[in-house]
Amino acid sequence: MARYVAGSLHAVMTTAGRTARLDGMTTPKTAGLTASKTFVLVHGSWQSSWSWDGVRDRLRALGHRVITPALPGRGDIGEDLSWIGHDDNVAAVLAALDADGGGPVVLAGHSLGGVTISQVADQRPERIARLVYCAAFVLEDGESAGDVMPEQLRTAIAELARTRADRAIPMPWELWRANFIQTASEQLARESFRRLVPDPYRPVFEPVKLRRPVHRELPASFLSFTQDQTMPPGFWHPGMSGRLNGAAVAELDGDHEMLLTAPGLLADALDEAAATPA
Q: Residues 166-187: pLDDT tens digits? A: 999 999 999 999 999 999 999 9
Mean pLDDT of the chain: 90
What is the sign of the dihedral through the CA atoms of 112, 179, 187 and 254? Answer: negative
Asked if residues 25 and 9 have their Cβ atoms less than 8 Å apart, the reply is yes
What integer pLDDT is reported at residue 102 of this predicted model? 80
pLDDT tens for the chain, 278 residues long, are 555 443 333 343 444 432 222 333 333 555 545 689 999 999 999 999 999 999 999 999 999 999 999 999 998 788 899 999 999 999 999 999 999 988 999 999 999 999 999 999 999 999 999 999 999 999 999 999 999 999 999 999 999 999 999 999 999 999 999 999 999 999 999 999 999 999 999 999 999 999 999 999 999 999 999 999 999 999 999 999 999 988 899 999 999 999 999 999 999 999 999 999 87
Residue 95 CB neighbour total at 10 angstroms: 11
Percent of the chain with pLDDT over 90: 82
Reply yes or no: is the peptide bond before residue 219 cis, omega within 30 of 0: no
Q: Is 185 exposed, middle or buried (0-12, 13-18, 19+ CB in 10 A)?
A: exposed
What integer pLDDT is reported at residue 78 of this predicted model? 80
Residue 191 CB neighbour total at 10 angstroms: 12
Bridge partners (DSSP) listed for residue 134: 110, 223
Asked if residues 115 and 23 have their Cβ atoms less than 8 Å apart, the reply is no
What integer pLDDT is reported at residue 32 of this predicted model? 47
For 94, residues 6+ apart whose C-beta sits below 8 A from its C-beta are 120, 123, 124
| In the chain, domain spans | 2-22+33-274
Q: What fold is seen in the domain 2-22+33-274?
A: Rossmann fold (3.40.50)
Give pTM, 2 decimals.
0.91
Q: Residues 182-204: pLDDT tens digits? A: 999 999 999 999 999 999 999 99
